[in-house]
Amino acid sequence: MQIDDVFSFNSETVCEAMSSETGVVSRQYMRSFRRTFQEARECAFNSNETRCRPLLICVHHRRSFPYFDVYQYMFYSEYLLEFLNENYTLWLCDITQYSNRTMLYQVCPTLFDIDFVVNDPWEQFPPILIGVLRQSDDELSDCEFELLFDGMHLIHTMGDLTLETLFDELLKFKDQFDDNEKNFVFDFLRVARLCDDMFYEIVPYMTLNDALTTFSSKYAGILQERNIKLLLDNPSDEFMAAIINRIPSELIIALRIKVDDLSSKLQLLKDKKASANVTRLILTNIERLDRMNDYLAYFANVTCLSLCYASNIDFRNLCNCIRYFPSSVKRLKIACTNVLCSHNRMDYLFSKSCHFNSTIEHLLISIELISTSIVNSCHQYHPICELKTIADFIRVLTNIQDVRIVVHHGNLVRLLDLVEWKGVLQLRPTLKKIVLKPSTNVIVDEQARQKALDIQQQMAAVNRIIEFEIA
């Protein structure tokens, strides 16, 4: 068999391969792809098989001297041929012909210039191998091209091309390809053999991350058409790099992210202009809010801000940062384990030196458990320290309209103090509704319900209409 037969664009090419164990020359079939790059790409990436194959572009010139040496390493080994057939789709491009040089230039213009097309580069052009990664699982997605070897030299390691080093390089690229594919996962509807209508039934209950990785990013256009907007939930750096630039920014209207990861994500969101569409921002793992102004400067249109503390909330520290909240924020939600005492100074949270907020209208505070140790450690020995701290914070919100507090059912009674709530309601006439809710579904005792009713009646007696209830 002639060496030139290897690069004849046949779908199966016969090669004479020598076994490394027996030294016997045998005839092996190499699976290569003919015709256009698009067909080779569809064969590799859009296969009906359960997994996609990495795509390799082998570029050669038949009159180039290194061509024969590279052939020896790449197609003379029985073991390497089996490995290529098992794991790769190979597109062979013979640039001896002008039309093939033009086609290759159109496929990956980042690697070749126009001089490559016009001139016949056979003397100075050694065979090269290019690995292809797709940037999304969309059929029309752009590809990323990575040069693996140039003639007899590997690009990544700068080492010489041998059978062993070539095999190692192919293994590394396959791992890189597999890691890249994990960002797209599989088409759930196709694998599960479900009709496309099931997508619209399932996706409203998912985060944007799960929707795009489960159903593939090709459904992003459908989400945009149907105006389905979802929560982007703690995206990894890999997900952000692979997905964020391939989806419409309008799909990201809610973002949940860890504070310590936020700085690395902000630039991507800013470049994508996705932060302008976020109306709901959830910050988790909060310890302190010293850089709140840096974070919130990117989210000028947030209407609902949720702060999820890793442990206890310091309302005094929060009051110092509240001035940085965008004026668009109307709803503030706070989740924490416990409330720290704010009475370590003589001034109250709502003193003249405090930074008041006039835009927040709705407040939700969820407290996991009010522990006895924190209550007993009040600096001014208030028996209802946690309620006084919360009440002081409510006074800071000059336009507050309703408050909901979720606590363990055993702590409900501690929040039912008429004097404290009366002080809040007198200072904040905009407040119309207060709801206390146990964190678990339990039957609230009649004593607690009666206290809530008494507070509402006492306020009605002084012409202050308020809905005060236990949900």
Name the nearest CA neighbour of 10 among 29, 37, 38: 29
Neighbours of 225 (CB within 10 A): 9
C-alpha dihedral, 105 to 106 to 108 to 111, nearest 10°: 30
Among residues 164, 182, 200, the one where a domain terminates is 182
Residue 160 CB contacts under 8 Å (≥ 6 apart), including other chains: 152, 153, 154
Domain with 193 in it? 185-274
How far apart (Å, rounded) are the C-alpha atoms in residues 434 and 400? Answer: 11
Q: What is the CATH number of the domain that holds 83?
A: 3.40.30.10
pLDDT digit string, tens, across residues 317-367: 888 888 778 889 999 999 998 888 888 766 666 665 567 889 999 999 999
Indicate whether 337 belongs to any domain: no
Neighbours of 179 (CB within 10 A): 12
Asked if 149 and 215 sit in the same domain, the reply is no
pLDDT digit string, tens, across residues 188-212: 665 566 676 777 778 888 888 887 7
How far apart (Å, rounded) are the C-alpha atoms in residues 214 and 57? Answer: 30
Asked if 97 and 209 sit in the same domain, the reply is no
Asked if 178 and 237 sit in the same domain, the reply is no
Asked if 79 and 220 sit in the same domain, the reply is no
Name the nearest CA neighbour of 322 among 344, 350, 284: 350
Asked if 155 and 47 sit in the same domain, the reply is yes
Count of domains for the chain: 2
Indicate whether 469 belongs to any domain: no
111: buried, middle or exposed (CB in 10 Å: 19+, 13-18, 0-12)?
middle
Asked if 85 and 34 sit in the same domain, the reply is yes
Asked if 32 and 169 sit in the same domain, the reply is yes
Name the residue type at position 346: M
| pLDDT value of residue 32 | 58
For the record, the structure tokens of 456 come out as 């509402």
| pLDDT value of residue 22 | 38
Asked if 29 and 175 sit in the same domain, the reply is yes
> Which residue shows structure tokens 């126009």?
114
Beta strands in 156-279 (DSSP E): 230-233, 252-258
Asked if 57 and 175 sit in the same domain, the reply is yes
Indicate whether 445 belongs to any domain: no
How far from chain centre, in Å, is Cα 154? 34
Query: Whole-model pTM?
Result: 0.62
399: helix, strand or coil? coil
How far apart (Å, rounded) are the C-alpha atoms in residues 164 and 363? Answer: 65
Among residues 274, 295, 316, the one where a domain terminates is 274
How far apart (Å, rounded) are the C-alpha atoms in residues 377 and 375? Answer: 5
Burial 62-90 (b: 16+ CB within 10 A, else e): eebebbeebbebbbbbbebbeebbebbbb
Asked if 67 and 213 sit in the same domain, the reply is no
Strands 128-134 and 55-60: antiparallel
Asked if 252 and 265 sit in the same domain, the reply is yes
Per the CB < 8 A criterion, the answer to whether 136 and 185 are in contact is no
Residues of the chain with pLDDT under 50: 1-29, 50, 140
Asked if 153 and 204 sit in the same domain, the reply is no
